Amino acid sequence: MPSAALQSTRYEVSDTVEAIEFYYAKGWTDGLPVVPPTEHRVRAMLDAAGLEPGEEITFIEHRQVSVTAEKVAINAVMAGCKPEYMPVVVAAVAALGDPRWSYHGPATSTGGAAVFMLVNGPIARELGLNCGDNLFGPGWRPNATIGRAVRLVMRNVIGTLPGRLDRSTLGHPGKYTFCVAENEEESPWPPVHVERGFRPEQSAVTVFAALAPQQFYNQLSNTAAGILTTACAHMRISAGVGAQPQYVLVIAGEHMQVMAKEGWTKEDIRQFCYAHTQTSLAELKRIHVLPGPIRPEDETTLQPLVPTPDDFIVVAAGSRAGAFSAFIPGWGSKRISESVTREIRRP
């Protein structure tokens, strides 16, 4: 049975350069050149995900916008995706409409959240998503284009434009693209999607409203507690202390080996970080994070960084070399926006 016709408006251009300039003039790019979305390319994206053009991928309640498969496919082409990347993009876009992620807050806030995407399962390895060297840097097409496709959907379909719906004061480079995989092959721990109820052979993407990643360095300690003490010291003074709903903690190769040698589990890491990132109300008032005068009892009353230990999302990723790891503060306060994990479905 033939597929339904594409519904998007068609434009005639003389060549690729004119097409790229046309998209710039229309304001449909993120500032970088895009791949012209011809019907053939858009069809290939839809076929790779087994979708008809008019199928709804998600509905953004606050904007009253239905995001269809055709619109996602167009923006995936523009971002430079291969057709085989389309199921990952679809799953991530679907997660944006989940009430737990709460699109309106992270997409419109002056706080400048990006969409951090963590890909787990066999598809990450099949597509060659980077989980190692230069983790958050350039050089890997699937990481760069999958993350970019989701941001272009936000811009071109949902209307999340800087200075209009997107009111970020500063933003950060992750708003171009912010997509990595977990290093499941070398990790001593269960991957994130398995912790969240999926089977190892399933593929899934987790979306997280995220501020910029912050590295921490510890070459001096050969214990898990020592490394995490450094991490906790940095997190205690990170943006919005005591306000974030969740933090991602990225443990890279050297630090991962130390923790694995000692037999530390992800749960051990979460419990340690929860206990050692609590800050007194007095200190939070001194640094003007909380309002009001300092009372005597504030010196001994502690506020945790996140609501529960489970709100530290521990990810094994990054290079084997170098005594660096990182944490990514979440956007918002308490439970305004939570990370969401969706299965990646392929036909």
> Could you identify the residue written with the tokens 């500063």?
170
Q: Give 336's pLDDT tier (boundaries 50, 70, 90).
A: confident
Task: Enter the tokens of residue 63.
Answer: 């904007």
Question: Contact, 225 vs 185, CB < 8 A?
Answer: no
Domain boundaries, the chain: 8-211+336-347, 213-330
Question: Contact, 274 vs 236, CB < 8 A?
Answer: no
pLDDT tens digits, residue range 290-299?
A: 899 999 999 9
Task: Enter the tokens of residue 316.
Answer: 């094994």
pLDDT tens digits, residue range 85-136?
A: 999 999 999 999 999 999 999 999 998 899 999 999 999 999 999 999 999 9
Q: Give 1's pLDDT tier (boundaries 50, 70, 90).
A: very low
Task: Enter the tokens of residue 131.
Answer: 């989980």
> Could you identify the residue written with the tokens 């002056």?
110
Q: How far apart are CA 318 and CA 273, in angstroms?
A: 20
DSSP class of residue 297?
G
Supply φ then ψ for residue 77, to 5 degrees: -60, -50
Taking the CA atoms of 136, 248, 188 and 205 in sequence, report the sign of the dihedral they define: negative
Q: Is 209 helix (H, G, I), strand (E, B) or coil?
A: strand
Question: Contact, 210 vs 174, CB < 8 A?
Answer: yes
| One-letter amino acid of 1 | M
Task: Enter the tokens of residue 175.
Answer: 């708003």
Q: Is 21 left (phi over 0), alpha (psi -120 to 50) or beta?
A: alpha
pLDDT tens digits, residue range 160-218?
A: 999 999 999 999 999 999 999 999 999 999 999 999 999 999 999 999 999 999 999 99
Q: How far apart are CA 263 and CA 271, in angstroms?
A: 14
Q: How far apart are CA 147 and CA 240, in angstroms?
A: 25
**Which residues are CB-contacts of 197 (< 8 A; sequence separation ≥ 6)?**
none
* pLDDT for the residue numbered 62: 87
238, pLDDT greater than 80: no
pLDDT tens digits, residue range 239-282?
A: 555 567 899 999 999 999 999 999 999 999 999 999 999 999 99
Question: Contact, 227 vs 143, CB < 8 A?
Answer: no
Greatest pairwise CA separation for the chain in angstroms: 75
pLDDT tens digits, residue range 4-63?
A: 899 999 999 999 999 999 999 999 999 999 999 999 999 999 999 999 999 999 999 989
Read off the pTM. Answer: 0.95
Question: Contact, 63 vs 156, CB < 8 A?
Answer: no
Other C-beta atoms closer than 10 Å to the C-beta of 237 total 12
Q: How far apart are CA 135 and CA 150, in angstroms?
A: 19
Question: Contact, 340 vs 207, CB < 8 A?
Answer: yes
Question: Contact, 148 vs 79, CB < 8 A?
Answer: yes
DSSP class of residue 85?
G
Question: Contact, 300 vs 280, CB < 8 A?
Answer: yes
Helix axes 69-79, 86-96, angle to 10 degrees: 120
* pLDDT for the residue numbered 243: 60
Other C-beta atoms closer than 10 Å to the C-beta of 293 total 6
* pLDDT for the residue numbered 240: 55
User: What share of the chain has pLDDT > 70, as a percent?
Assistant: 97
**Is residue 130 classed exposed, middle or buried when 0-12, 13-18 and 19+ CB atoms within 10 A define those classes?**
buried
User: What share of the chain has pLDDT > 90, as a percent?
Assistant: 90
pLDDT tens digits, residue range 50-76?
A: 999 999 999 999 899 999 999 999 999
> Could you identify the residue written with the tokens 């760069």?
144
* pLDDT for the residue numbered 2: 53
Supply φ then ψ for residue 280, to 5 degrees: -70, 150
Q: What is the mean pLDDT of residues 231-244?
A: 75
State how far Cα 118 lies from the chain centre: 6
Task: Enter the tokens of residue 262.
Answer: 């000692």
